[in-house]
């Protein structure tokens, strides 16, 4: 189970800050409403945080909190002993039940903290097949999340396996303590009023999205080492960031922490080459040194220094897996980037650098109520559809970004990773 340590810094105790993180998850991340159900998923080692969130949820008036725990040992047992055919199976009944809960108005909360290298030594074909089966089974729930049908959020817990990856030279207890410190800082729970701190941060992100929406760029161009990429933006796209209102009418923050502003690319208007600037931790496999080339919106060449076999199988998930569903801008001086840490966790590393996402688009990133559009309307505007949505980082202090107008004029947006 998780290692309990007291933070080394002066001020609030570990227990107080853990409770503040739980409060931020419920009040800011979810904005949980009285009488609303909550469906939560978490690693077993996140038990202290999940219990704190459960208490805060009931204090906020939750009618029922249902938590589903993941066990790394059980996952490894499957790869060690299950018959080969088992890797094409997923718990469709479970994900169907989650989708039913979301359609009924339940909120969704995920606690991340998985071992980034859990499946690194396993058969890559089995890993890919298991991921594909899960992705297919998860479609009913994923579509509701991607369409922002209900309020949802993700927060993190410092688990021993994750902490050992981030701080490999420290004793485990020290590594867990250091990781908790980083989580508390990035989640803005160190100050006297975290809820107010989040309100101020959301206001800053809202100002950034309003400025970008005012430009109505047709495309973004990224240039840096190994990168010369033009990302066409979907017709009627809208930039989002920070707090957003779900289709159920609840204002919430989908990610705790968040430093990004993001929108929907046009699935057929991406051209050029791009290199990753941070490793991608995907379903227990670390994929590093990604380099791909796009033509007509589709990845036609792809390689990776490590995890290339897993990347290849991800790209073969379905036709939409080779196209983009999101593009996001994050300054290189963001609080998470300034920590100097590589988290091996997409929730954190994507908030340290500008990034793109393979796969499913977010329908909320459209003007005039995009979430209410049908699939044909979204496709006509350029939104991508896929079983997956996988973010990977392409920004750094060596990458410049220009906005391209419909007439082709370049407007500086970022220079050396910072807002112009």
Burial 42-71 (b: 16+ CB within 10 A, else e): bbbbbbbbbebbbebbeebebeebebeeee
pLDDT at 364: 86
Tell me, yes or no, whether 1 lies in a domain: no
**How many Cβ atoms from other residues are within 10 Å of residue 103's Cβ?**
13
Tell me, yes or no, whether 47 lies in a domain: yes
Tell me, yes or no, whether 100 lies in a domain: yes
Query: In this predicted model, which residue has the larger pLDDT, 207 or 191?
Result: 207
SS3 content of the chain, % helix, strand, coil (to 5): 35, 25, 35
Q: Taking 90 as the threshold, does the pLDDT of residue 281 lie above it?
A: no
Alpha-carbon 388 to chain mean position: 12
Q: How confident is the model at residue 3 (pLDDT cuts 50, 70, 90)?
A: very low
Regarding whether 375 and 234 lie in a shared domain, the answer is yes
3-state secondary structure of 241: coil
Tokens of 207: 């100002």
Angle made by CA atoms 271, 276, 282, in degrees to the nearest 5? 110
Instruction: State the residue for tokens 């038990």.
Output: 47
CATH assignment of the domain containing 142: 3.40.1830.10
Regarding whether 136 and 226 lie in a shared domain, the answer is no
Regarding whether 289 and 169 lie in a shared domain, the answer is no
Lowest model confidence (mean pLDDT) among 238-242, 243-247, 348-352, 369-373: 369-373
Q: How confident is the model at residue 376 (pLDDT cuts 50, 70, 90)?
A: confident
End-to-end distance of the chain based on CA atoms, in angstroms?
46
Regarding whether 230 and 85 lie in a shared domain, the answer is no
Q: Taking 50 as the threshold, does the pLDDT of residue 345 lie above it?
A: yes
Regarding whether 153 and 272 lie in a shared domain, the answer is no
Tell me, yes or no, whether 9 lies in a domain: no
Tell me, yes or no, whether 2 lies in a domain: no
Q: Taking 50 as the threshold, does the pLDDT of residue 85 lie above it?
A: yes
Residues for the chain: how many in total?
A: 420
Regarding whether 230 and 175 lie in a shared domain, the answer is no
CA distance 288 to 314: 14
For a pLDDT cut of 70, what percent of the chain falls above it? 96
- Rounded to an integer, the average pLDDT of 185-212 is 95
Tell me, yes or no, whether 18 lies in a domain: yes
Alpha-carbon 391 to chain mean position: 7
Q: Taking 50 as the threshold, does the pLDDT of residue 248 lie above it?
A: yes
Q: What is the pLDDT of residues 31-72, one digit of tens each?
A: 999 999 999 999 999 999 999 999 999 999 999 999 999 999
Tokens of 28: 């800011």
Q: Taking 90 as the threshold, does the pLDDT of residue 8 lie above it?
A: no
Regarding whether 219 and 93 lie in a shared domain, the answer is no
Instruction: State the residue for tokens 């927060």.
Output: 155
Q: Taking 70 as the threshold, does the pLDDT of residue 371 lie above it?
A: no
User: How are beta strands 251-252 and 219-224 bridged, if at all?
Assistant: unpaired
Q: Which candidate, 343, 332, 395, places its Cα nearest to that of 182? A: 343
Alpha-carbon 420 to chain mean position: 25
Give bridge partners of residue 43 from the DSSP assignment: 70
Q: How confident is the model at residue 146 (pLDDT cuts 50, 70, 90)?
A: confident
Regarding whether 155 and 32 lie in a shared domain, the answer is yes
Regarding whether 157 and 270 lie in a shared domain, the answer is no
CA distance 220 to 168: 37
Q: Which candidate, 348, 45, 405, 396, places its Cα nearest to that of 217? A: 405
Regarding whether 386 and 263 lie in a shared domain, the answer is yes
Tell me, yes or no, whether 208 lies in a domain: no
Residue by residue, DSSP assigns 94-109 as HHHHHHHHHHTT-EEE
Backbone angles phi, psi at 233, to 5 degrees: -100, 145
CA distance 356 to 394: 7
pLDDT at 6: 44
Query: How many separate domains does the chain show?
Result: 2
Which residues 6+ apart lie within 8 Å of 50 measured at CB?
Answer: 40, 42, 67, 69, 111, 157
Regarding whether 233 and 120 lie in a shared domain, the answer is no
Q: Which candidate, 128, 119, 84, places its Cα nearest to that of 313? A: 128
Q: Which candidate, 277, 262, 391, places its Cα nearest to that of 329? A: 262
Q: Taking 80 as the threshold, does the pLDDT of residue 372 lie above it?
A: no
Which residues 6+ apart lie within 8 Å of 214 measured at CB?
Answer: none
Q: Taking 90 as the threshold, does the pLDDT of residue 284 lie above it?
A: no
Would you give the DSSP letter of residue 254? S
Q: For residue 412, what are the domain limits?
A: 215-239+259-419
E strand or H helix at 325: strand 324-329
Regarding whether 225 and 177 lie in a shared domain, the answer is no
Q: What is the pLDDT of residues 159-187, one digit of tens each?
A: 999 999 999 999 999 999 999 999 999 99
Tell me, yes or no, whether 210 lies in a domain: no
Instruction: State the residue for tokens 């569903």.
Output: 325
């Amino acid at each position: 189970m998780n290692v309990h340590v007291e933070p080394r810094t002066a001020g609030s105790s570990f227990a107080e800050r853990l409770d503040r993180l739980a409060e931020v998850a419920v009040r800011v991340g979810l904005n949980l409403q009285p009488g609303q159900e909550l469906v939560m998923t978490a690693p077993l080692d996140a038990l202290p945080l999940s219990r704190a969130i459960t208490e805060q949820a009931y204090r906020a008036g939750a009618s029922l909190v249902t938590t589903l725990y993941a066990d790394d040992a059980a996952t490894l047992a499957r790869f060690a002993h299950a018959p080969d055919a088992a890797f094409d199976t997923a718990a469709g009944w479970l994900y169907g039940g989650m989708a039913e809960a979301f359609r009924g108005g339940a909120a969704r909360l995920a606690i991340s903290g998985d071992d980034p290298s859990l499946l690194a030594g396993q058969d890559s074909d089995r890993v890919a097949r298991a991921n594909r089966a899960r992705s297919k089974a998860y479609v009913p729930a994923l579509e509701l999340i991607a369409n922002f049908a209900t309020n949802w959020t993700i927060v993190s817990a410092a688990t021993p396996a994750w902490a050992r990856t981030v701080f490999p030279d420290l004793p485990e207890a020290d590594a867990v303590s250091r990781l908790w410190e980083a989580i508390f800082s990035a989640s803005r729970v160190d100050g006297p009023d975290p809820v107010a701190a989040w309100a101020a941060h959301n206001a800053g992100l809202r100002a950034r999205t309003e400025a970008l929406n005012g430009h109505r760029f047709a495309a973004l161009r990224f240039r840096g080492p190994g990168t010369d990429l033009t990302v066409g933006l979907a017709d009627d796209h809208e930039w989002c960031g920070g707090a957003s209102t779900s289709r159920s009418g609840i204002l919430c923050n989908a990610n705790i922490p968040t430093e990004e502003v993001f929108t929907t690319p046009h699935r057929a208007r991406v051209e050029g080459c791009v290199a990753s600037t941070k490793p991608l931790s995907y379903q227990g496999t670390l994929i590093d040194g990604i380099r791909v080339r796009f033509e007509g919106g589709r990845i036609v060449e792809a390689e990776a220094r490590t995890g290339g076999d897993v990347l290849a199988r991800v790209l073969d998930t379905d036709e939409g897996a080779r196209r983009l569903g999101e593009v996001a801008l994050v300054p290189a001086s963001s609080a998470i980037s300034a920590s100097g840490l590589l988290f091996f966790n997409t929730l954190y590393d994507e908030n340290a650098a500008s990034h793109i996402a393979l796969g499913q688009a977010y329908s909320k990133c459209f003007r005039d109520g995009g979430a209410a559009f049908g699939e044909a309307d979204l496709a006509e505007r350029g939104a991508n559809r896929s079983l997956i949505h996988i973010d990977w980082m392409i920004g750094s202090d060596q990458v410049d970004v220009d906005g391209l107008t419909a007439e082709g004029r370049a407007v500086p947006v970022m220079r050396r990773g910072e807002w112009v």
